[in-house]
């Protein structure tokens, strides 16, 4: 299967310290991959790297030509006090189609209505964002992703603070996208969820601990290695030889993290 996203010795980070360290590999077109790991292990950083919001310290992250990308960041980055209705939020997903100037057409409004219906938010069109529950807002954000009609979908912790019914509904949507051969990468904390629904998984602990078929990736050995990941930066870490722009955290290496 052709590559959708390619990592070549990719290092992303902050203040000269790597958050994702020397990642190599390919996310294949049409795959459904869960990115798992402890807090601070580089999952959200990797998503930002793929989107292009964060520039690599070294190496490359390339998205295949012609791929349309949709990114659902963590909820906390959205201003819920903004005077917008649910339909306004979902209509933002029309940007790739209509851009800055394009008028919304009848089919656009239909797409927004269908997306709201698909996530179970019919009747919520005119509700203001500050009146939505966490789960309802997450459904609305999924509706926006639907409207974007992208073939690479990145979801950063979409199941946080969401009830089990909503999680089940959102998982169905993700499976639908997978069935439509869209490439989907999801940051997830719930390992049982990953084992049950995700064919592939990438276990991160700053560097990749394991990557491949989900059940194998989440083996007890791999999880044990990932748990030994030390979140804190090592201020005295030597400069990395390969890139010379960031510091190695040798503490991790000593604990056997790849």
Partner 1 sequence: MSPHDWFIAPFAEFAFMQRALLGAMLLSVSACPVGVFLMLRRMSLTGDAMAHAILPGAAVGFLLYGLALVPMTLGGLFAGMVVALASGVVARVTVQKEDASLAAFYLISLSLGVLMVSLRGSSVDLLHVLFGSALALNDDALTLILLVAVVTFCSLCVFWRALVAECLDPLFLRSVSRLGSVAHFVFLSLVVINLVAGFQALGTLLSVGLMILPAAAARFWATRVTTMCATAVGIGVSASVSGLMLSYHASLPAGPAIILSAGVVYVLSLFVGSRGLLVSWFSATTHRTA
Binding residues (CB under 8 A) for partner 1: these are 51, 53, 69-71, 73, 77-79, 82-85, 88-89, 92, 95-96, 99-101, 128, 144, 148
Cβ within 8 Å of residue 196, ≥6 positions away: none
| CA count, 13 A, side-chain hemisphere, 239 | 7
> Between residues 96 and 179, which has the closer beta carbon with respect to partner 1?
96
How near is the Cβ of 101 to partner 1 at its closest, in Å?
7
Q: What single string gives the DSSP state of each residue in 152-213? A: EEEEESTTTT--HHHHHHHHHHHHHHHHTT-EEEEE---HHHHHHH-SEEEEEESEEEEEEE
Shortest spacing between CB 194 and partner 1, in angstroms: 24
Q: Residue 258, Cα to own-chain centre: how many angstroms?
A: 22
CA distance 129 to 133: 9
Of 79 and 107, the one with the shorter C-beta distance to partner 1 is 79
Provide, rounded to whole angstroms, the least separation between the CB of residue 170 and partner 1: 18
Quick one: 79 or 235, whose CB is closer to partner 1? 79
Nearer to partner 1, 76 or 220 (CB): 76
Between residues 123 and 179, which has the closer beta carbon with respect to partner 1?
Answer: 123
CB count within 10 Å of CB 225 equals: 18
Smallest gap from residue 25 Cβ to partner 1 (A): 22
């Amino acid at each position: 299967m052709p590559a959708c996203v390619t990592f070549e010795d990719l290092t992303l980070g902050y203040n000269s310290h790597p958050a994702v360290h020397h990642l190599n590999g390919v996310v294949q077109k049409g795959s459904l991959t869960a990115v798992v790991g402890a807090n601070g292990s580089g999952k959200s950083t990797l998503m930002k790297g793929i989107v292009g919001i964060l520039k690599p310290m070294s190496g490359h992250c390339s998205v295949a030509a012609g791929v349309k990308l949709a990114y659902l960041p963590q909820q906390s980055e959205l201003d819920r006090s903004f005077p917008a209705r649910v339909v306004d939020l979902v209509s933002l997903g029309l940007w790739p189609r209509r851009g800055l100037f394009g008028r919304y057409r009848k089919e656009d409004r239909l797409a927004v209505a269908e997306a709201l219906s698909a996530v179970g938010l019919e009747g919520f069109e005119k509700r203001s964002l500050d009146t939505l529950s966490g789960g309802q807002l997450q459904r609305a954000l999924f509706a926006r992703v639907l409207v974007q009609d992208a073939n690479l979908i990145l979801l950063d912790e979409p199941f946080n603070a969401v009830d089990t019914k909503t999680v089940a509904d959102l998982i169905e949507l993700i499976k639908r996208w997978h069935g439509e051969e869209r490439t989907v990468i999801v940051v997830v904390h719930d390992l049982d969820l990953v084992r049950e629904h995700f064919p592939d998984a990438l276990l991160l602990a700053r560097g990749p601990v394991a990557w491949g078929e989900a059940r194998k990736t989440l083996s007890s050995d791999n999880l044990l290695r990932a748990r030994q990941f030390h979140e804190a930066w090592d201020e005295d870490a030597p400069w990395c030889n390969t890139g010379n722009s960031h510091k190695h955290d040798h503490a991790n290496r000593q604990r056997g993290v790849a």
